Amino acid sequence: MADLIRIDILAEEDDSDAVLGVLARLSPYGWQEESLPTGETKYSVHCENAGVVEKLCAEIQLFAPSAALTRSLVPQQDWQAAWKDFFTPVNCGRFTVLPPWRLKDAPRDTTPIVIEPKCAFGTGHHNTTVLCLTAISELLDAGRIKPGMRFFDLGTGSGILGIGCVLCGLSGIGADIDPLAVDNARENREINHAANFEVRSGSIENAGGETFDLVIANILAAPLREMAQDIMAAVKPGGVLVLSGILTIQADAVAEAYKALGTPRRVVSEEWSALVWD
C-alpha cells in the first residue's frame, strides 16, 4: 500500500484566508487545523497524488509566500487506523455525526448520523458542514422544512446532509461529481437506513427539472456563483436555499449572484459563512 504525502503548512494570521482559499479549492482529502499558542495556525493535508501536492504547494507559495511548508510520508495503513482517534462525535443542532464505533456516544436527544470515514470525504468536523447542519436544524425547528418535503443536496460528499434530512422525514437526491464520493454516500445511506436518499453522480443537472422544498449546496464559492441560475431554478417557489463552503470574505460576492432571491440570512463559524434564504 502506497504511502500518503503529508504537507504541514505553518501560517501567520494574515495568511490564513489565503491558505484556506487554496485548500478549499485544491485539497481533495480535506485538512486538519491546529491553532498554536504563538498565534500561528498549522494546517495538515494528506494526499496520495504527487501532482495534486505539487499544485497545492505552488499555490500556497504564490498566495501566501511567507507560509512555511514541510512534507513527509505517512504509511497509509497508519493513516486509516488514525481515524479512530481523530474522528470524534460532532454535535450540530439536532444532529450528532459520528463513526460506527462511537454510536453509543450519541446524546439521546439528538439524531445520530453514522458515517464510515474515508480519507477523502467529510466527517462533519469541518465548519462548512457544521453550518449546514445547524441551518437545517433551525429550519426544522421553525417549521420551514418538515417531514414529507423534498430536498436536493449538491456536492453531497459523504452524504451527511442528505442523510440528516432523510432521518428527519424528508426525501430527496444527493449529487457529487466525484465517483468515490458517490460510492461513500451510498455506503453511508445503507448504514443509516436512509432509503429515501437517492445518490447520483454529477452536478446540478441531476435535479432533472424537478423543484425542491430545500436545496443545499456545500461546495465552493466560485462554482456557487457559476451555477447560480441553475441552482435557483431548482428551488420551489417559497422554498429554502442553503449555500455553504464560503469563506466570509467571499460571502458578499456569492450573495450578489443570488440577488433575485433577496437578502440571505448568514450563519457564521470562524472564517466560514453559510447563506440561507428562508
Owning domain of residue 70: 4-81
pLDDT at 191 over 60: yes
pLDDT at 50 over 80: yes
Where does a domain end: 62, 81, 100? 81
CB 173 within 8 A of CB 201: no
- 124-133, 174-183, 235-244: range with highest mean pLDDT: 235-244
pLDDT at 146 over 90: yes
**How many CB atoms sit inside 10 A of residue 247's CB?**
19
The predicted pLDDT at position 91 comes to 85
Give the pLDDT band (50/70/90) at residue 1.
low
Statement to judge: residues 62 and 183 lie in one domain? no
Statement to judge: residues 61 and 158 lie in one domain? no
Global pTM reads 0.72
Statement to judge: residues 194 and 144 lie in one domain? yes
Where does a domain end: 22, 57, 81? 81
Sign of dihedral through CA atoms 153, 98, 84, 267?
A: positive
The predicted pLDDT at position 26 comes to 81
Q: Which amino acid is at 138?
A: E
Q: Which residues contact 130 (CB under 8 A, 6 or more apart)?
A: 90, 92, 124, 269
Statement to judge: residues 72 and 165 lie in one domain? no
pLDDT at 120 over 50: no
Domain count of the chain?
2
CB 224 within 8 A of CB 243: yes
Statement to judge: residues 72 and 127 lie in one domain? no
- Model confidence pLDDT, tens digit, residues 213-234: 999 999 888 899 999 999 999 9
The predicted pLDDT at position 178 comes to 82
